[in-house]
Structure 1
Amino acid sequence: MPESRDLPHRLDLALRALVGLTGPTVSFTVLPEPESVTEARHFALSRLDGWGGAALADDVGLVVSELVTNALRHSGAPAFARPAPHPVHPVHPCDDQADRRNRADRAPHGSADPLGSAPAAIRLRLLHQAPWLLCGIMDASPEAPRRKEPDYIAETGRGLHLVESFSVRWGWCGLPQGKIVWALFRAP
């Protein structure tokens, strides 16, 4: 999948706002735990409901689940192998993950990573500008997302095909410290 370039002006501005956490953007820190996929999906769906976008719930929930799963599986070194804990970041008023995030930041080095390859930092970000919703997953890996040829027997490998099928448009952009994989939705 080539990196997103020459995007329409409004989409480029929205993507910059998503990365910069400006405007009506909300953020969720994904912890290196299997439950984080469900928690990220619930976070996205609760924000979507607050924005009156319940009609997009199934599509957004599926895409968020796939993008978070991909980031947890493929985006870098084990989270607890990092040389120093992350600083505690300001918490969005609706973010009920502060206690868990703080505990994760204090986890001893060498602790078992239940996912085996979870990266040091993954953030789900959402930007709503009616009638559009832009969803992005930021991670520390500079590697481009790779769409696999579907193996109908395998249990994995269909995620980016689903993202493409359930969003209006999707792509990725490199960042100074990783990348963002994004998906765009339009409310009916």
Structure 2
Amino acid sequence: MRTWITARLAGWHLHGLSDDLTLIATELATNAVRHGGTPARITLALRDPSTGPRRVVRLEVEDSGPGFSYRSHTRPVPVENCTGRGLLLVDTLSSAWGTGPTATGQLVRAELWA
């Protein structure tokens, strides 16, 4: 997955987004498998907005798990915990992100401005 994302970004001449986007993708894919308990479908798209100067790279991770409320997963995590900070990283590294239900589960998306 990381190699695929890095190659796609290189093809779009967006090398500078590679580290952040591969970290985000790894977190979201891991969450899909760990918490959703199912394989994940990952898509990556470059969108040229009709208004404004910025292009947007959008990553989507979809699984057929039960879903979750992202608000409940962005609270402070006790220092002694070894897990629980992944979505805080996604929130910090992405320009925008969110979740939504699908017909078979849920979709988590993250966007980075190019």
TM-score, structure 2 length as denominator?
A: 0.84
Deviations 1:136-171 (A, max 9, x none): 100001322441532322221100000000001100
Which residue pairs with 1:164 in the alignment? 91
TM-score, structure 1 length as denominator?
A: 0.53
Which residue pairs with 2:51 in the alignment? none
Greater mean alpha carbon deviation, residues 174-183 or residues 146-155: 146-155
Amino acid at match of 1:137: V
When the two chains are superposed, the root-mean-square deviation of aligned CA atoms in Å is 1.4
Gaps of 5+ in 2: 49-54
Which residue pairs with 1:122 in the alignment? 40
Correspondence 1:1-188 to 2 at 5 A: 40-76=1-37, 119=38, 121-130=39-48, 131-144=55-68, 145=70, 146-147=72-73, 148-187=75-114
d(CA) in 2 for partners of 1:58 and 1:154? 25
The structure with more strand, counted as a fraction of residues: 2
Q: Using the TM superposition, give the Cα deviation of residue 135 of structure 1 relative to its aligned residue in structure 2, in angstroms.
A: 0.4
Q: Secondary structure at the match of 1:152?
A: coil
Contact 1:142/1:174, CA 8 A, preserved across alignment: no
Gaps of 5+ in 1: 1-39, 77-118
Amino acid at match of 2:105: G
How many pairs align?
105
Deviations 1:112-139 (A, max 9, x none): xxxxxxx1x3111111124110001000
Contact 1:150/1:157, CA 8 A, preserved across alignment: yes
Q: Secondary structure at the match of 2:43?
A: strand
Q: Secondary structure at the match of 1:185?
A: strand
Which residue pairs with 1:81 in the alignment? none
Larger Rg: 1
d(CA) in 1 for partners of 2:80 and 2:13? 38
d(CA) in 2 for partners of 1:42 and 1:68? 14
Percent identity (aligned) = 33
